[in-house]
Every structure is written in structure tokens, then in C-alpha cells.
Structure 1
Amino acid sequence: MTEPLIGISTYLEDPVRWGVWRMRAAVLPVGYHRLVQRAGGLAALLPPDAPAAADAVVARLDGLVISGGPDVDPARYGAEPRPETGPPAPERDAWELALIEAALDRGTPLLGICRGLQLLNVALGGTLVQHLPHVRGHSGPPGVFAHHTVKPVPGTMLAAALPEEVSVPTFHHQAADRLGTGLVPSAYADDGTVEAVELPGARGYTLAVQWHPEAGDDVRVMSALVGAAAAG
């Protein structure tokens, strides 16, 4: 069987340094593509492009991962930025929202990771908590993942992949607030923060998690996406 092709959205950073070079680059932590490969998929990195190109890109993929990264622009969900909210990334917001819309329209299996959950929620009309007052349990020091337990909701797609409570690597200071149309929570943290959402009845497999599976050893969430992509 041919391995399914899984596209992963990437960052634009300026500058990035490697060797003698220091310039703007599209980058992504290696954990993302390695997790896809460990789950049995082929990884394709997707740099930001014109939103109008999103449908053509998704049409060539068997599955899509929206990766973690900077805060979503609060203007996308009709809010004013809080002082703690990071600077917007308008090019990336526009591109990834277009990818999500194309995946939902086509029924392409979709997995959102951290920012990817937040963008999926916004794409479907939801809002975000811009700054978790209990951020300490969800993020470590800068550049360091924290760990906490998530509890899957029985009967959900997530629970089919993760049937038990599990400790996960995490780094976020934002979370879903009002859920977007059709989304249901499929995991919670001990403090009640929504840690996963999914879209029952969608044309394709649609799941998003607030933690960072690419930073850990548990391949089950990605394996579920790759399996859905392989099934067509």
C-alpha cells in the first residue's frame, strides 16, 4: 500500500541562521515530519502561500496537519488583543485558515496541533482565551515543554486513539473559549481547559489537540490521522 501524503504547515521566520547563511526561511521543528513518518505517512512541508492556492494544494494531499506556532490574530474572531497576546502573523493566519477551509470542503483528514486547534475553532466561528491565568500548568519556561494529564471524553474519535488518561507535552498560553459550529470537546485538562476538539459528521476525519504530540513518544494521535488518510 502506498503511504499517504500528509502535508504540514510551516513557519516563516526572519532571520534564520544555518552555516554561513542568515536569511528569511520557512522552517518547522523536525518532530512534526518525523512523527508523520513514524506513523506510516509521507511528510510534505507546506510554506505559506497565497490563500487562493490552498484548494489546489489540499487536492494533492491525503491528509493535513496544521502545526503549532504564534498566537492567532484576535481580529480573526472579533476581539481586541490583550497585552499578553503575541504579535500577529497575518500571512500565516490567512494561509492556514484557507488550508483548513479547503480540507473541510474536500473531506480531507485534518489534524490540528496547538495553534492548529485554535485556528480550527476560529475557522468555525469560535473564540479563544487569549491568556490562560493558569498558564503555569500548560507551559514550561521559554523553549521548554511542560507535561500534564489530559482526559479523553469516552465515545469520541480521540478516545478511540487514546482510550485512557495520558500525560502529554504541552506549551501554550491560549485555548478554545466558545467552540465553533459543530465542534465538540474530546479531552480536558484537570483544570477544565479543553485539550482536544473534533467535528462529528464532517466529510472527513477532523480532530485537533492542544498539546504537542510531535514533542513526545506517543504516535497514536498521528497514527489515527494517517490511518484515516490511507482509508481515503
Structure 2
Amino acid sequence: MSRPVIGITCYVEPARFTVWEVTTALLPYDYVDHVARAGGQPVIVPPAGDPAPLVERLDGLILAGGGDVGPERYGQEPHPRTGYVRPFRDDAELGLVRAALERGLPFLGVCRGMQILNIALGGTLHQHLPDVVGHSGHAPAPGSHGRMPVRLAPGSRTSKIFGTETVDVAHYHHQALDRPGEGLTVTAHAEDGTIEAVELDEHPFAVAVQWHPEADDESALFEALVRHTSP
């Protein structure tokens, strides 16, 4: 039986490797490893081209983490700490997630990916979470994940995936959902009230989390995504 093809969005950033220093489409390999271990065939999807034909060739989609989404996408002026905005990536991923949802493609959003989903459905973001919660525990140091427990809503798909109502997860984000988009149900919170997971009502499998599951050894979310595909 062929493996389901799982598209994973990626960064486009300057990078150095061997003797080269060039603009590169790149992705932390942990995403690839988790998808492969879950039984999927990972395919990296750069922010280019027409999303509509692409989603017809995928069995599932992961919107990966990354820099901040341009605040004009949800009707706000930039906060001084909003950064690493890549308008071309915002354009591509908003188009991709809308095409994926229209088709009913199984979908997992990670960090920025959850925020893209929310904006695509008309929601808004807190641009700098420490202003809201009064601490920096969600992103304790540059390039270093923090750990924090999140509470999962009883009976939610997310809770059923983990088989528990509390999980300790890897965090690295300074933004988070403010107003959830149309059709989204909030299914997890941090202790400080930050929205940590959402699910899309009336969709076969559309789950998004604010934390970074790729940074942990367990692959429950990736396995759930692959299980819900039908290559």
C-alpha cells in the first residue's frame, strides 16, 4: 500500500550550508521525520505556484511554524515586536489553507499554521503575547523551546488523540489567537488562558496547535493526521 502524501509548508530564508550562502526553501527536519515515522510520505511545499491543483495531489497538509503573519491580514497596525513577516508566504499559505479546507483535506496547523488557519477564517491575533499574559514563558529565549502544560477540552478530538486532558508540550511563540475564526472550536488552553489548540467544526480532520509537536519525541498529532488520510 502506498504511503499517503503529506505536504508540509516551509520557510524561504537566507541560509548557509557547505560553501553556499543563498536564499533557500527550508524546514526543520523534525517535521519530515515525524511524518515518515507516522507512515506518511513527506513532501515539502514552498510558498509558490497555484494552491488549487496542488491540494488535489495531496492526501494531507501540515502548515508549519515560521515568522509572524502580516497584521494587515487581520486589520491591525504592526506591533513594535512583530517581525520576520514574509508577505509572499502569507499570500501562498492563506490561499493554500483555503483551498485545502474547501476540498476537505486533512489538515494540521503548527504554531504559525494555527494562526494562518485562524486568519483565513476571519479571526485575529494577539501580536505580542507577553503584553497580554505578563510573562515570556511561551518563548523563554531565542532559539530555545520552553515547556508548559496545556489543558485539553474533555471530549475534543485533540483530547482523544492524546488520551488525556493535560499534556506538557514544547512552546516557542510570542503571538497567539485572540478572536477565533468562524467555525473554530477552542480545544486547549495554557494555564494563563492562552488559546493552545483549535478544531474546525464540520471538517473530517482540521486540528491546529499553538505549540511545537515536532520538537517532541511522541508523534500523536502526526499519526492522527496520517490515519485520517485516504491515498
TM-score w.r.t. the length of structure 2 is 0.96
Question: How far is the alpha carbon of 1:161 from its aligned partner?
Answer: 0.2
Residue in structure 1 matched with residue 20 of structure 2 by the alignment: 21
Residue 135 of structure 1 deviates from its aligned partner by 4.6
Structure 1 partner of 2:149: 149
Number of the residue aligned with 1:198: 199
Who is 2:188 aligned against? 187
Q: Does 1:65 align with 2:66?
A: no
In structure 1, what is the equivalent of residue 79 of structure 2? 82
Q: Indicate how the Cα distance of structure 1 residues 82 and 32 shifts in structure 2: closer, same or farther if over 3 A, else same.
A: same
Report how far residue 89 of structure 1 moved: 0.7
User: Could you give the per-residue CA deviations for residues 3-54 of structure 1, whole angstroms, max 9, x where no partner exists?
Assistant: 111000011002x11111111110000011111111111100001103xx10
Distance 2:157 2:56 in 1: 24
Partner residue of 1:137? Answer: 137
Q: Distance in 2 between matches of 1:115 and 1:46?
A: 15
Match of residue 99 from structure 2: 102
TM-score by length of 1: 0.95
Partner of 1:219: 219
Correspondence 1:49 to 2:48: yes
Compute the RMSD of aligned alpha carbons. Answer: 1.1
CA distance in structure 2 between the partners assigned to 1:141 and 1:87 by the alignment: 16
| Contact 1:63–1:109, Cα closer than 8 Å, also in 2 | yes
Match of residue 229 from structure 2: 229
Aligned residues: 227
Deviation at 1:163, TM superposition (A): 2.7
Residues 39-88 of structure 1 deviation map (CA, whole Å, 9 limit, x = unaligned): 111100001103xx101111100000000000010000000011111142
Q: How far apart are 1:140 and its partner, in Å?
A: 2.4
Letter in 2 for 1:40: G
Q: Does 1:34 align with 2:33?
A: yes
- 1:183-221 CA-to-partner distances (Å, cap 9, x unmatched) read 01011111111100011212x310100000101112101
Offset of residue 130 of structure 1? 0.4
Assess if the C-alpha contact under 8 Å between 1:154 and 1:163 holds in 2: no
Opposite residue 103 of structure 2, the aligned amino acid is R
Pick which of 169-178 and 82-91 moved more.
82-91
Identity of aligned residues (%): 48
Whole-angstrom CA distance in 2 between matches of 1:141 and 1:135: 12
Instruction: Say which SS state the counterpart of residue 117 (structure 1) adopts.
Output: helix
Q: Distance in 2 between matches of 1:216 and 1:135?
A: 23
CA contact (8 A) 1:112 1:207 kept: yes
CA contact (8 A) 1:7 1:64 kept: yes
How far, CA to CA, are the matches of 1:88 and 1:170 in structure 2? 20
Distance 2:163 2:135 in 1: 26
Matching residue of 1:118: 115
How far apart are the structure 2 equivalents of 1:4 and 1:174?
32
Aligned twin of 1:128? 125
Quote the Cα distance in structure 2 between the aligned partners of 1:26 and 1:122: 23
CA distance in 2, matches of 1:155, 1:201: 16
SS at match of 2:92: helix
Partner of 1:177: 178
